[in-house]
Amino acid sequence: MSEEQVRALRRVGRAWNRVSAAPSVWRRALPVEPDMGRFPPSAEPAPAWFGRLIPLPPLPGPGHATPPTGPAEPAEGAEPAREAGPADRAEAPEEAEAAANPRGAVLRRVLLGAPLASSAFVTERMRKLVALPVLSADALSSVAYGPEAMLTVLVLAGAAGLAYTFPVAAVIVFLMLAVGVSYRQTIRAYPHGGGSYIVAGDNLGPVAGLVAAAGLMTDYVLTVAVSIASGIAAITSALPGLTPWTVPLGVAVIVLLLAGNLRGIRQAGALFAAPTYAFVVAMFALIGAGLVDAAQDGFRAAPTPSVPVTEAVGLLLITRAFSSGATAMTGIEAISNAVPAFRPVEWRNARTTLTWMVGLLIAMFAGIVVLIHLTGVVPRSDETTLSQLAHLSFGQGWFYVYVQAATAAVLLLAANTAYNDFPRVLSLLARDDYAPKVFLRLGDRLAYSNSTVALSLAAALVYVAFDGRTGALIPLYAVGVFLAFTLSQSGMVVHWWRRRDPHWRKSLVFNATGAVLSGLVLLTAGVSKFTSGAWVALLAIAVFLLVTTRVHRHYATTREALRLRPHAVDLPARPGAGPLTPAVRAGSAADLRESEELPEEIRHLSVVAVATLDLAAMRTLAYAASLAQPVLVVHISTTEEEERRFRAYWSLWGDHLPLQTVLSPYRAVVAPLVHYIETLHRLNPGLTLTVILPEIVTRHRRHQFLHSRTAPRLRRSLRRLPKIVITTVPFHLPT
Amino acid sequence: MSEEQVRALRRVGRAWNRVSAAPSVWRRALPVEPDMGRFPPSAEPAPAWFGRLIPLPPLPGPGHATPPTGPAEPAEGAEPAREAGPADRAEAPEEAEAAANPRGAVLRRVLLGAPLASSAFVTERMRKLVALPVLSADALSSVAYGPEAMLTVLVLAGAAGLAYTFPVAAVIVFLMLAVGVSYRQTIRAYPHGGGSYIVAGDNLGPVAGLVAAAGLMTDYVLTVAVSIASGIAAITSALPGLTPWTVPLGVAVIVLLLAGNLRGIRQAGALFAAPTYAFVVAMFALIGAGLVDAAQDGFRAAPTPSVPVTEAVGLLLITRAFSSGATAMTGIEAISNAVPAFRPVEWRNARTTLTWMVGLLIAMFAGIVVLIHLTGVVPRSDETTLSQLAHLSFGQGWFYVYVQAATAAVLLLAANTAYNDFPRVLSLLARDDYAPKVFLRLGDRLAYSNSTVALSLAAALVYVAFDGRTGALIPLYAVGVFLAFTLSQSGMVVHWWRRRDPHWRKSLVFNATGAVLSGLVLLTAGVSKFTSGAWVALLAIAVFLLVTTRVHRHYATTREALRLRPHAVDLPARPGAGPLTPAVRAGSAADLRESEELPEEIRHLSVVAVATLDLAAMRTLAYAASLAQPVLVVHISTTEEEERRFRAYWSLWGDHLPLQTVLSPYRAVVAPLVHYIETLHRLNPGLTLTVILPEIVTRHRRHQFLHSRTAPRLRRSLRRLPKIVITTVPFHLPT
């Protein structure tokens, strides 16, 4: 709450002082039990596996959710925002259906594990040797498709094009170095995590932050799609018979990733550590074996293979090759986003891990490019370049199988980096009111379940739409990545310029170089590949910006509407709310707006809708009468005869409450009631109307359709009208 | 209302006398306007086309429905049941969505016409010359497939089988005569309509009535499917190129029939009169031309064609042929079901029409069988027998086209008979509590919209499942039809035996003959065709019986549960409901059951769920406090820090209402609230808990997902708990 709202709250409270004398009479007798202040009631944290099932109340369909009134205190997260750990944002698990369905809940436990309390969050951290494989799987695995993507462009110009392999690769390595160093600075400058979104937003303004976030989001979706496409390609290179199953296999992998990540972050780390290390071993073995072979030949390069020349060497070709090859560095930002997931001291551990990662990345990228040059391998559509290299070094033997398996595994799991980052960025956006608040909710395994599901859906859509072809996805990929890089590093330039820490000049030069190179890749990718797919990414970014700004505007309106307005309650109090008097009926203009009111200012009229004089109706009438406020009973008759009959029964009962019958010759029921209540409100704007409806509740849901749906339909229609409170009095059938 | 319930109502009213003194104070001042007693407010009936649109209130999503409390007085229809015209059952049109969506409402008007008031019902009757084609299209069109179905069986035994054509046909003609005479008796005995269901139920008991209804329902569904399949066959005989489109064409016809019947009965009659007459003309022309041709040949039968013999002549073959040929008389009962749709005097007009129909049916059936015998035509799979006959008489000329077109038209529209009868039988079942009450609702064109839609869905399902092949559907068809016939005529035997009107012996013999013959067909069809499809019909009938008895049991339980129980209110009144005292807290065992209560017996506790202290929460708190009943405010905190913070804000506000915070470390919100309220109820069973929830309402529905869904989820969870009233206080956002 802001200072101004706290003052407003105090003034509202003072206004209430005048009226809240009565409650103290019954206050002491209130049935508040001391052991009801905690849920689940047992104080110790839930034990493993079935711990959560025990404290759940034995009720059908409870369900869990965020607090009832709209966005949960967005202002709360605003001031300490960037300093707050994710534990502060922990809200509510998404498991209404699990609670409603005990069998579903058991299945959920078996699949996802026991729930974790919010206080467990801090222990859910990764040490460096786990964080390295988890967070760098994306970046390291990129060498499986990056060099190939670069060569695919260069080879279009034949031998003349391939001659540019080393220069282009050298620029990419330099770019990797520059970006890596830049992110080292970022990690120290932003020890509480947040990558391009935070850096760009802080230094270049919120719009730049949003654009960077848009780039990041498309990047994460495409990381999943591209990594899986490339991983499946590694498998189909070794087992060509699986090629027709490319799309279903990829979707199956997305489903597995979804399930794994709903279990939470630590398990994901342990699960995904092995393949990355296996891949690193495979790559160094491949490069080592290739270099030994080459050394035996005296490092003579293989003759340049003869390929059909379709394009001339030119700036456009070179830059396209550069931007394609630069996809080898996607994922390099993952660590800077995930600093809070490291064990303390977070920023130091993250920096060290980043250095290791960039070192490995450069070594592997350079080694593979050299190996390709030495062996004269050329990209083919039916076999990946890595598979060709492995065939050359290891033939068909078991080590070839190992290389392909490790490549596939690391690529399929590289997608997991996105599963760590996408929800984090989305939760930052939700915290800043740019995304729906549901993305703030932590599941009961402390994973952002909603974001995880959203990422899986988006990635599966892209993957299926592009038939799981890596080559078709690469043009989409570069735009988002380098948009985020460019903005992030530009932001760092501004950061250094403003802060002028020690060595700021060197850092600024590094970051400026990175920003210029990233911007160049972005420009190249956006222009030269626009028609071949980049337009999809640009469109997605534009839609993202549109939606996020709309969401932000809506939340701003909401917050403004929900602000306490003390002046409204400082109106002179009118005579106490008792029986309805004609003077009150006229209402006053001040009542027309929905503002806060004092209890004494509220004038009640209860409207009870009754169809027949059965037990449910009698209970509803008794409830309405017991509120000791004016009551009006409305009955809809479809014929005049029915109207007469109902009036007869009514006077037989004793005419205890005023009755109004409405004739509806077209047999409608909801429309006349809504019309009646709306007219009542228009004629008496000062009244708060409480519409009281009986509602039959069956024990089994399949029986509910045997009964009228009037109550829910009326509720849906009436909720749009102002100053109308809707009350349902359930009547429970034994079946 | 039954006498006993009226007495109960009076006693309940006397109990209220003790408590309802207060209301008279504010009663005179109630804002009841004289012009609000009718909806739509204008007194004259709605004019054509857009009449209904004007009186609709300018509100989003009103929607219409039956009265709020469960089944609308089933007891009401019970005593005068069979005497009551359908107008008494007219309840409410099914047009929630039309009202919610003005564009949809306009479309609806254009397609369906202006709404009709219930009082228009009696003018929606048919005169005989309209009723004949509408109600006999099914029966008359049956000659298009009946003779063919009979021959298809006989021809399996070659010439020896075909020799039985005339004897079998003669028995069928006799059966037609017997059943026709039987239904003449039925119409007079039951002038208010209702065919087999009423007759069997009245004379043989409710179970027999239900079984007959089950037969009728499957019959109607299959009438639609078989007629359309046969009609499409008539078209594809003339235009073989359309054969691959059999299924889509049939589904399109079902959709057209659905739309036509939603417009209401009179339009349907006018629309469907022409094809039936055209078909009768075509058949008599065909028979006449054939007889003239045969007369020129001296009535010598064509040589029996040589066909492969696959079965010997035997009782089984003959009876199978008989039961297949007997499908030519399906639909003969339509008129007796639809007596109330005739103009007054209904029963006399219906009888005359039935006589005409049976005469036409027998003449056409016999004529076609004779013609087949004379021409030596044999059934073929790619061309219908009628098409072969027409080819022989008229070659490829325009009269052949006319015959085929008329046959197709009458068959496609024969399905309409089912659209007249199915909803009527279903509404009778609903009136007797055997079917959901929604099937009692008349649409705003006075058609039973829900039944019409249900029939269309079922028929489309069967049609698609059997690929629209007439031959595959025939075995299913006979079972339901002859089950209903047998029970109806057995019922009439009992009727005559009991009543002994003049000429009862003759009637009894007629009916007994019909019952025995129908029973024979039923037995033959059920046994000999069990594996070839009759099992589907038998299974459908069994499922129907199961569901209807379950529905009946549920409604019986409901009525019992909703009965007024005056003894409950004769308990000694306890001290007035005022502030909550410890004595009241303990509750009493009598309160545990949900029975009617007197206002003074209700002890209130309002529970307000609040997440933040914003304007929506303050309005909800003010509403709760203004009810002048004890209030308890509950807040769910996910961390202890949040709990402390909320408590601080609460005391800052002034601590005007008692607050209970619940710590929910697993971040659930709905589950702890439900648990809390349930515990509160368990500890204080005497209290009526009113759970008051703020609910954010956005102007555009697409924004609603940006806000918490806690209120609706909590409502869903709480509605299962006893003695808990749920109140939502809407807060409307400007966007």
In 3D, which of A510, A469, A493, A518 has the Cα closest to residue A332? Answer: A518
A696, containing H or E segment: strand A687-697
Question: What's the pLDDT tens digit per position in B251-261?
Answer: 999 998 888 88
CA geometry: angle at B173 spanning B168 and B177, to 5°?
145
Q: Which residue of B has its CA nearest to A34?
A: B660
pLDDT above 80: residue A577: no
B-contacting residues of A 627-656, CB under 8 Å?
Answer: 627-632, 636, 638-639, 649, 652-654, 656
Based on its alpha-carbon atoms, the radius of gyration of chain A, rounded to whole angstroms, reads 33
DSSP annotation of B342 = B
Judge residue A651's burial from the number of C-beta atoms within 10 Å of its C-beta, 0-12 exposed, 13-18 middle, 19 or more buried. Answer: exposed
Provide the 3-class DSSP secondary structure of residue A388: helix
Higher-confidence position of A30 and B165: B165
Judge residue A35's burial from the number of C-beta atoms within 10 Å of its C-beta, 0-12 exposed, 13-18 middle, 19 or more buried. Answer: exposed
Question: What's the pLDDT tens digit per position in A288-319?
Answer: 999 998 888 777 777 766 777 888 888 888 88
Question: Which residue, chain included where needed, has tokens 């009547």?
Answer: A731
DSSP annotation of B301 = P
How many CA atoms lie less than 13 Å away from A579 in the CB half-sphere?
10
Q: Which residue of B has its CA nearest to A610?
A: B68
In 3D, which of A426, A387, A385, A389 has the Cα closest to residue A405? Answer: A387
- Cβ atoms A199, A362 nearer than 8 A: no
In one-letter notation, the amino acid at residue A431 is R
Longest dimension (CA), chain A: 113
pLDDT for the residue numbered A358: 94
Question: What interhelical angle do B346-375 and B146-154 show, nearest 10?
Answer: 40
Q: Which residue of A has its CA nearest to B100?
A: A717
Label the pairing between strands B603-609 and B631-637. Answer: parallel
Tokens of B557: 């339980």
- Cβ atoms B439, B426 nearer than 8 A: yes
CB distance from A547 to chain B under 8 Å? no
Confidence class for position B124, pLDDT limits 50, 70, 90: low
Question: What's the pLDDT tens digit per position in B141-159?
Answer: 999 999 998 998 888 888 8
pLDDT for the residue numbered B111: 59
CB distance from A664 to chain B under 8 Å? yes
pLDDT for the residue numbered B489: 86
Q: Give A553's contacts in chain B (Cβ within 8 Å).
A: 735
Question: Which residue, chain included where needed, has tokens 């909320």?
Answer: B646
Q: Taking residues B240-263, what's their average pLDDT?
A: 87
CB within 8 Å of A348: residues ≥ 6 apart: none
End-to-end CA distance of chain B: 48
User: Backbone dihedral region of A718: left (phi > 0), alpha (psi from -120 to 50 degrees) or beta?
Assistant: alpha
Question: What's the pLDDT tens digit per position in B682-731?
Answer: 888 888 899 999 988 888 888 888 888 888 888 888 888 888 899 999 88
Q: Give B678's contacts in chain A (Cβ within 8 Å).
A: 57, 59
Helix extents (H) in A376-469 = 385-394, 398-431, 449-465
Provide the 3-class DSSP secondary structure of residue B55: coil
Q: Give A694's contacts in chain B (Cβ within 8 Å).
A: 68-69
Label the pairing between strands A724-732 and B724-732. Answer: antiparallel
CB within 8 Å of A498: residues ≥ 6 apart: A203
pLDDT above 80: residue B327: yes
Q: Give A93's contacts in chain B (Cβ within 8 Å).
A: 666-668
In one-letter notation, the amino acid at residue B676 is Y
Q: Taking residues A639-657, what's their average pLDDT?
A: 86
Q: Taking residues A102-113, what's their average pLDDT?
A: 57
CB within 8 Å of B655: residues ≥ 6 apart: none
**How close A653 comes to chain B (CA, Å)?**
4
pLDDT for the residue numbered A40: 66
End-to-end CA distance of chain A: 48
Tokens of A27: 């206050």
pLDDT above 80: residue B644: yes
Tokens of B155: 């021809």
pLDDT for the residue numbered B116: 63
What is the phi/psi pair of residue A500, to 5°?
Answer: 55, 50
**How close A530 comes to chain B (CA, Å)?**
32
DSSP annotation of B126 = B
Question: What's the pLDDT tens digit per position in B46-55?
Answer: 333 322 222 2
Please state, for a pLDDT cut of 90, what percent of chain A lies above it: 18
Judge residue A133's burial from the number of C-beta atoms within 10 Å of its C-beta, 0-12 exposed, 13-18 middle, 19 or more buried. Answer: buried
CB contact under 8 A, B68 and A585: no
CB distance from B333 to chain A under 8 Å? no
Question: What's the pLDDT tens digit per position in A442-485?
Answer: 766 666 788 899 999 999 999 999 888 888 888 888 888 889 88
CB distance from B77 to chain A under 8 Å? no
CB contact under 8 A, B614 and A564: yes
In 3D, which of A638, A685, A428 has the Cα closest to residue A548? Answer: A428
CB atoms within 10 A of CB B110: 10
Longest dimension (CA), chain B: 113
pLDDT above 90: residue A211: yes
- Cβ atoms A694, A729 nearer than 8 A: yes
Tokens of A611: 């169809």
Higher-confidence position of B245 and A297: B245
Give whole-number Cα distances, A384 to A147, A148, A392, in Å. 11, 8, 13
CB distance from B609 to chain A under 8 Å? yes
Please tell me the distance from the alpha carbon of residue A564 to that of residue A351, in angstroms, as a whole number.
45
List for chain A the helix, strand, coil content (%; round to 5): 65, 5, 30
How many CA atoms lie less than 13 Å away from A495 in the CB half-sphere?
28
Name all contacts of A306-311 with Cβ < 8 Å and 24+ positions apart: A306/A158, A306/A159, A307/A155, A307/A158, A307/A159, A307/A378, A308/A158, A309/A156, A309/A157, A309/A158, A309/A160, A310/A156, A310/A157, A311/A156, A311/A157, A311/A161
pLDDT for the residue numbered A85: 34
Q: Give B698's contacts in chain A (Cβ within 8 Å).
A: 554
**Positive or negative torsion for Cα A341, A346, A350, A353:** negative
CB contact under 8 A, A32 and B654: no
Please tell me the distance from the alpha carbon of residue B237 to that of residue B145, in angstroms, as a whole number.
13
Question: Which residue, chain included where needed, has tokens 């939603």?
Answer: B262
Peptide bond into B40 cis (omega under 30): yes
A-contacting residues of B 551-580, CB under 8 Å?
Answer: 551, 553-555, 557-558, 561-565, 577, 579-580
Comparing A549-558, B72-81, B291-300, B427-436, which segment has the lowest mean pLDDT?
Answer: B72-81
Q: Taking residues B639-644, what's their average pLDDT?
A: 88
In one-letter notation, the amino acid at residue B594 is E
pLDDT for the residue numbered A354: 93
Complex confidence, ipTM = 0.74
Helix extents (H) in B563-685 = 566-569, 582-585, 615-626, 640-653, 670-683
Strand order in the sheet with B724-732: A659-663, A631-637, A603-609, A687-697, A724-732, B724-732, B687-697, B603-609, B631-637, B659-663
Q: How does A71-94 read in b/e, with b if 16+ C-beta sit within 10 Å?
A: bbbbebbeeeeeeeebbbbbbbbb
Average pLDDT, chain B: 78
Q: Give B7's contacts in chain A (Cβ within 8 Å).
A: none
CB distance from B83 to chain A under 8 Å? no
